[in-house]
Chains A and B, each alone.
Chain A
Amino acid sequence: MQLQQAQPVQEDSWIPSACSMCYSNCGILGHRVNGTVVKIEGNPENPVSGGRICAKGLSSIMTLYDPNRVNTPLKRTNPEKGIGVDPKWQRIGWDEALGIVTEKMRAAMEKDPRSIIFLGTAVDVWSASFNSAFGAAVGSFNAWISGAGPHCGNGEHAMAGILHGAIHTQVDYDRCNYLLMFGCGSGGGSYYNATLAIRGVSEGKARGMRMVVVDPMLSPSAERADEWVPIRPGTDAFLAMAMLNCLINEAEVYDAEHLNRHTNAPYLIRPDGRYARDGRTRKPLVWDSKEAQPRPYDDPSVAHPALLGSYDVGEGLMCRTAFQCLADRAKEYTPEAAEKVTTIPAATIRRLAREFGEAARIGSTVTIGGKTLPYRPVGVLFFKGAQAHKHSLLTAMAISLLSEVVGAVDTPGGLLGSNPRSFGFPGTGACSWEPKEGPDGLLISGAWGISVPSALSEIRKPESINLSELVPLGIIATGAPFTMIDPEKYQLPYKPEVHFVTGSNAVMTLTQPAAMAEALKNIPFTVCFSLFLDETTEFADVVLPDACFLERYEICNLVSLGGYANSAIIKEWSYYLRQPISEPLYERRFRNDVILEIAHRLGISETLYAAFNRFYRLRQPHQLDPTKRYAWPEMVDATLKSYFGPEHDLEWFKQHGLLKWPKKVEESYWKNFMHLRVPIYFEWFLDLKDRMEDLKKELPYGDEVETADYQPLPDWKPCAAHEQNHSGFDLFAFYYRIPTHTFSSTYNNAWLDGISSLDPNFYAFTINAETARNKGIKEGNWVSIESIHGGKVEGRVRLTEGMHPEAIAMANCGGHWSKYLPLASREGKGACFEQLMKMDWKCVDSTVHNWDLCVKVKVYKIEGRS
C-alpha cells in the first residue's frame, strides 16, 4: 500500500448533530474535511453526552462507510421467500421502485388501509411521530416494533408510567448513596443515556455511593458494583418481596408520611379487594384515627389516616388499609423461603434490606434552590434482566415498590421518572406536559403521548396487527407475528397486504427466527428501508437504500424529549438537531424524504401535513399549509420555529446545534410540588381483569389471553423455565447487553467488531467454571446450546467464576447469517438468542407483552471442533 498524497483542504468543518447508534441519541460533533467524515466526537455543549460518547458513537463512521451498505433501490426477482433463499436482487431506479411501492399501497388502501402494516425499531425513534403522521394519512395505525421494546422495558415502562408519570426511570446519581440494581445495564454502558449513566455511577462511587447489583451474571454493570449478588434467573420478584417483608414487617422501616400523602396506602380495601367507597361521593375511604371513623381520602380534616390495620367501616365490614394488604402479602415471602428460590442466603437478604432501609434516611430533608425537600438517597433500578420473563408486570411491581415504601421517588437522591413534568421552553412554553389527576386521586402520566396506562385505559376487541387493544398496560404490544401467521384466527377485519419496514431486523430480534420468517412471508408485499441487506431485508420485495443518521436531518419528537433522549439524570433540557455530516452517498435517500414522495404519489400529502401539525403540536403561524408541498427539511424548519420562535429556525439550529435551558427543581422533583397519588395497591387492575374476562368470551382465541396477573399486589410466580425439568436441560440461558454493540444492528461495524473481540466474554457463551468442568467442557471449547423448544446455537465458551452455576449467557444479538454482512456473519461472532426461543403465548407475559427471555437448555461440547 502506498502513502497517498493529502488533498489540499477546501473545506474543514465541525458540525453539531445527534448520534443514533442506540436510543440514547447523544449530542455529537462531526468533523468533515473536503466532504469526507473524518471523525465523530461528543459535543461538549450538549448535555445529552456532555462531550463524551461511547464506543458505538465513535465508531459510527464505519457504519457510514461500510462497503456493505445498500446503495441503490433493489427489487426481488425470485418470488420464493425464506431464510437463506436468495431473493436474486435486481438493481432498479428510484422512480421504478417508488412506482411499485405506490401501486401496492394504493391497491391495499382501496381494500382496507389497515392492511398496510408498519414495522420500526426502538433504536430509531426520533421520526416515530413522522411515521405516525404518514400512518394517519394512509389510514393505518397498524405499527409494531421488534427487538428492544418487547425485549426490555414493557414491565418497567408500565410501572414508570403508573408510579412516576414517566416513560422510564433513572436514579438521581448526584445524590444517591445506595444504588441497588436488578438486571440492568446502567453504569455498564447499556441503559438510557448510557454514557451519562456511566459518569453518574463513576462520580457516585467516587463520592462513596454503595452499588449492589443483583444479576445471575457478573455483568458489565455488576463488574462495577461494590457487591455482586448472584441470583437464579427469573426470581428477582421473590427477592424484592422478601426485602419488602424485611422492611415493612421485620424492621418496620417505611416512610409513613410519603405513603400517606403521595400514595393510596391508607385507602381502605374491602375483603373483595376493592376500595371501600364513600356512599355519597363514591370516593375511596381512609380511616381517620383521631375520630375513629372512615372519611373520603381527600377530606382535608383527616390529618392522620391509619396506615396499617383493619377497621370496621360500617355494618361489620372489616377493611384493611392498602398498606396492610401489602404488608400481609409480603409476609408470605420470608427470607428463608427466598433463599430456596433465589439461592441468595437469607442473611444476605436481611442485610441488604437493612442497608437499604438505613441508607434511605427516612425523615431527612435537603434544601435545593431554596426548596426543602425529602432526601432519600437510595435508588432501585431494574430492567431487561429482571423483567424479561413471564409475570413481568408482577416483578416490576415488586421491585418498584421498594422505592415507594421508603419514599425514594421523584425526590432528591431517589428514583426519578424521565421526565414527568416539563414547563416547556421558557421563550414559548412549547414542549410542556405534566401528570394530571385521574380516578381516585391517582396520577395519569402526561409524558407518554400514547396509550397511557391508567384506570381509564380501554380494552377492546383487537383490530390491530399487534393486538394492542388487549395490552392496556404495555407501551408496545407484540402480537404481530401471531396475527401475521394466522390472521383468520385473530379475526382481524383485514388481511395484511403491505409491510412497510422503516428499519428493524425482526427476523432475529423478537422470537424464534423460523417462525418470524413464516410471519414475514405471509404478507404479500414488503418494502424495506434498509442500511444493509440483513436477515429481515431478505424478505423484502423492494429495498430502498436509507440514509444512516450521519446523512440526514431529524428532530427529537416529544416522546424522546420526554425521556427517551433526555432522561432524568440530565440537569438541563435540551432540544437538538440531527443534521447530515455527510450528504447521502450513492443513491441513498433519507426515508422521510422518500415517504413524502410516496404520499405525494398517493395523493395523500394534505392529510399527512394535517396529521403532522397535530402530532408535532405545531402552532400558528408555523403549521404546515396542506395545500402546499414541503420537503422534509422544510418541515423540520417549521417545527423548530413553532417550538422555539422564528429566530430559532433550521439555519440557526444547523449552526448552533441545540437549545438548552435549566431544569427547575419543580420539574426534576415534581412530586413535592403536585398533590397526586400513586398506587401501592393496584386496585384498578381488578377492573382491567373483569373487563378482560368479559372480552375473552367474545374471542375465539380467548383461552390464550391470561388474566391472572391483573392483581392488585405483587407476587413471585415461576416463569415457564422454572417448571420445565426435562432430563438434561439443566441450565437457564439468557442474554445480556454490552457497551460495544446495539442489539443486532452493529455487528458488521469493523471497529466495533475489533473492539468487541478484545473482551473475552462478548462473543462467547459465558458459563460458570465448575458447571463447565462437570460437563467436561474446557475454556475455549466449542459447544452447542440446545433449547427445550428445539432451537440450537453454537459458539465458544468462556469459563468464569462470575456466573450463577445454573445459567449460561450470551451478549446482545450476534450470530448473523446474511451473506451481505460479511463481518457479522463470520463464525464466532456471538449468537442469536432468539434461536432458543419459541413463538408461543406461553412465552409472553399477557399483561405487558414482554417475552420470556430465559430458556431451559442443555449444553454440550462439540467434539473435534476448535
Chain B
Amino acid sequence: MPRLGMVIDLKKCAGCYACVAACKSEHATPPGVFWCRVVKQETGTYPRVRRSPLPLACMHCADPPCEQVCPTGATQKRADGVVFIDYTQCMGCRACMIACPYQARYFLAELRPYYEGQGLTPYEQFHNATNGYVEGTVTKCDFCKDRVDAGKEPACVANCPGKARYFGDLSDPDSEISRLVRDRRGLQLHPEFGTNPSVYYLPI
C-alpha cells in the first residue's frame, strides 16, 4: 500500500505565498482559514541575518494524534496515509486541535462571507453548495485527496512557482520523493513528537 507524502525543498521555496492562494482557491476555505500557510523565521543579528520561509500544513502523520483523540471517528486516516475529517461526524469538541502539535487545524465557529456584511459572491454561492463546510466543526488540509484520487498533484504542488514541492509515495524507495529525502537528508518537523509526519523538508 502506498504512503502518500510531500517533500518541500526549502532551497527552492521563494516564500511567495502562491501555495497559500492555490490552497484557498482549490478548497474555497472560509476567511481566516489557511490549510496551507507560510511562516517566516528570522535568525541572526544585523547585518548577518537570515529570514527563511517555512510552508506549513497538515503533516498527514503516520501516527496521527488527532485521529487517536477524536471521539466520533470524524478524523480518519486512509490506507494511503491521507488524514481527513468527515464533517458529518465532527461534533466540534476540538480535542484534535489540542492534540495536533503542528497547529494545522481550524475551528469553523461561524461561516462568514469573504466580504463581511456584503453577502456572498457568486463564487461562494457555488462552492458553499459543494464544499461541505459546516459551522461548529474542525477543518484542515486533506492532501487534496479528490485531486489525488483523480490522478493529479495537490494544488499547492502543481502550482508552486519555484517547483519546490514534490508529491509521491514514501513507501516506494525508488520514488522521487523517497530519493529526495534520502539524498538531500530530508527532515520531518519535530520528529520528537513521535507522530511520523509524511511531509519532509529539504534543508537549504
Contact = CB atoms under 8 A, between A and B. Distances in A.
Interface stretch (B12-20, B97-105, B169-177): B12-20
A interface, how many residues as a size bin?
A: 35 or more
A829 B12 CA distance: 29
Interface in A790-834: 800-803, 805, 822-823
B133 to A, nearest CB: 9
Interface string B32-73: 101001111010111101111100000000000000000000
B64 to A, nearest CB: 25
Contacts of A202: 11-14, 161-164
Nearest to A799: B42
Contacts of B42: 800-802
A203 B163 contact: yes
A198 B125 contact: no
B132 interface: yes
Interface stretch (B21-29, B77-85, B138-146, B189-197): B21-29
A754 B34 CA distance: 9
Given A58-B25, A223-B52, A41 B121 contact: no
B40 A199 contact: no
B111 interface: yes
B123 A802 contact: no
B95 interface: no
A761 B21 CA distance: 18
Contacts of A368: none
B116 to A, nearest CB: 8
Interface string A756-781: 00111100000011100000000000
Contact of A61 (B14, B25, B53, B128): B25
Interface stretch (A48-56, A320-328, A631-639, A850-858): A48-56
Contacts of A56: 21
A67 interface: yes
A801 B38 contact: no
B14 A59 contact: no
A7 interface: yes
Contact of B14 (A4, A224, A759, A805): A224
Given A55-B18, A751-B114, A755-B21, A803 B46 contact: yes
A601 to B, nearest CB: 33
A62 interface: yes
A5 interface: yes
Contacts of B25: 39-41, 58-59, 61, 751
A1 B135 CA distance: 8
Interface stretch (A30-38, A310-318, A349-357, A430-438): A30-38
B21 A55 contact: yes
Interface string B159-185: 111111000000000000000000000
Contacts of A187: 14
Nearest to B159: A52
A228 B48 CA distance: 8
Main secondary structure of the interface of A (DSSP, over half): mixed
A605 B37 CA distance: 52
A65 B124 CA distance: 10
A740 to B, nearest CB: 5
Contacts of A224: 14-15
A189 interface: yes
Given A3-B134, A805-B46, A62 B14 contact: no
A805 B45 CA distance: 12
A556 to B, nearest CB: 21
B164 to A, nearest CB: 6
Interface string A199-232: 1011101100000000000101001100010100
B151 interface: no
B17 A41 contact: no
A6 interface: yes
A848 B169 CA distance: 55
Given A59-B21, A59-B25, A4 B159 contact: no
Given A61-B25, A228-B49, A198 B14 contact: yes
A801 B16 contact: no
A4 B124 CA distance: 11
A66 interface: yes
A1 B20 contact: no
B18 A230 contact: no
Nearest to B23: A58
A201 B14 contact: yes
B16 A739 contact: yes
7 contacts: A1-B135, A37-B123, A42-B159, A53-B159, A206-B11, A739-B16, A822-B115
Interface of B: 9, 11-18, 20-22, 24-26, 31-32, 34, 37-40, 42, 44-47, 49-53, 111, 114-115, 118-119, 121-123, 125-130, 132, 134-135, 158-164
9 interchain residue pairs of minimum CB distance: A202-B162, A65-B121, A55-B21, A202-B12, A195-B161, A750-B114, A58-B21, A189-B16, A801-B49
